[in-house]
Amino acid sequence: MQNLKMVIRYDGTRYSGWQKQGNTENTIQGKLESAISRIAGQAVEVHGSGRTDAGVHAMGQVANVKLKTAVDPAEFRRKLNDLLSEDIAVTEICEVPERFHARLSAVRKTYQYRLYIGDAKPVFDRRQVTVLEPLPSLNIEAMRRAAEYLRGIHDFTSFCGNPSFKKSAVRRIDSLEIIEEADELVIRVTGDGFLQNMVRIITGTLIEVGKGAMRPEEIRDILAAKNRKNAGPTAPAKGLMLVGVEYTPS
């Protein structure tokens, strides 16, 4: 049995998210499993590091798949990319120990959210940025102060989009930066794991702070409330990208 680790990038615009679903074949996981099965001549299950939602993109999604017959990783990657559509690419494949699991072995993930604040249409990046309309004058320093309250270990129930989530919502955010880049604001967050819609809800809440609808200090009360209704709106999917996943060196 050969265990292969893959690094994948994709434009999630036209897909129903990462996870394979019974009512559609239009998922990233589904497309990968179909292509790998054709090449390997066997049914396979691809395990991703996380489930990106419909419309969310990835620069560094990580997945693993186990094959009964060993293959050459470089040749396998070439064949796989030949079969995949132009908006999905496998950038790396390597053999890893059998115990490696893309989700269970992950120790940190980094996401970024791109907000367009320029005065012209983002023609070329329109599928990967969220335009703030009407374009406000955001108080970026207030957003940064609010971000400080989110760093560290907290119960992020208020920032979870799944109302029926029953497991622990405690997560650790190691860094949360708000970066000004020309006509964009980039919110970049690294942590040990993320709840459903968590980064998008954090983004929506920070935007509310930037607009003056919330004070930075209210983040403490939002966390303590453990109630989704207390946080800001969920930012649209298209601005979000999974940048990378980290693992403990083997």
Task: Write the pLDDT tens digit of every residue in 97-149.
Answer: 999 999 999 999 999 999 999 888 999 999 999 998 766 789 999 999 999 99
Question: Per-residue confidence at 249, pLDDT binned at 50, 70, 90?
Answer: confident
Mean pLDDT of 193-213: 97
pLDDT higher than 80, residue 202: yes
Mean pLDDT of the chain: 95
In this structure, the chain runs to a length of 250
Q: Which of 96, 121, 146 is the last residue of a domain?
A: 96
CB 14 within 8 A of CB 24: no
Question: Per-residue confidence at 217, pLDDT binned at 50, 70, 90?
Answer: very high
Tokens of 132: 């703030």
**Residue 81 and residue 85: Cα distance in Å, rounded?**
8
pLDDT higher than 90, residue 14: yes
pLDDT of residue 99: 96
User: From the candidates 11, 53, 174, 192, which is the catalytic residue?
Assistant: 53
Same domain, residue pair 91 and 195: no
- Please tell me the chain's helix, strand, coil percentages from 3-state DSSP, rounded to the nearest 5: 25, 30, 40
pTM of the model: 0.94
Q: In this predicted model, what pLDDT tens digit does every residue of 20-79 receive, in sequence order?
A: 887 778 999 999 999 999 999 999 999 999 999 999 999 999 999 999 999 999 999 999
pLDDT of residue 195: 96
**166 vs 114, residue with greater confidence:** 114
pLDDT higher than 70, residue 174: yes
> Is 229 inside any structural domain?
yes
**Residue 11 and residue 150: Cα distance in Å, rounded?**
28
Identify which of 209, 202, 211, 150 has the alpha carbon closest to the alpha carbon of residue 175: 150
Same domain, residue pair 22 and 58: yes
Same domain, residue pair 49 and 131: no
Residue 53 falls in the annotated catalytic set? yes
pLDDT higher than 70, residue 162: yes
pLDDT of residue 23: 78
CATH code assigned at 7: 3.30.70.580
> Is 102 inside any structural domain?
no
Neighbours of 69 (CB within 10 A): 9
Same domain, residue pair 138 and 158: yes
Task: Note down the domain range covering 44.
Answer: 2-96
pLDDT of residue 134: 66
Kind of pairing, strands 130-131 and 106-116? Answer: parallel
Exposed e or buried b per residue across 123-149, where buried means at least 16 C-beta atoms within 10 angstroms of its C-beta? eeeeebbbbbeeeeebebebbbebbeb
pLDDT higher than 90, residue 182: no
Between 102-111, 131-140, 156-165, 189-198, the lowest mean confidence (pLDDT) is in 131-140
3-class SS of residue 136: coil
pLDDT of residue 46: 97
Question: Per-residue confidence at 250, pLDDT binned at 50, 70, 90?
Answer: low
Q: What φ, ψ does residue 29 adopt, rounded to 5°?
A: -60, -45
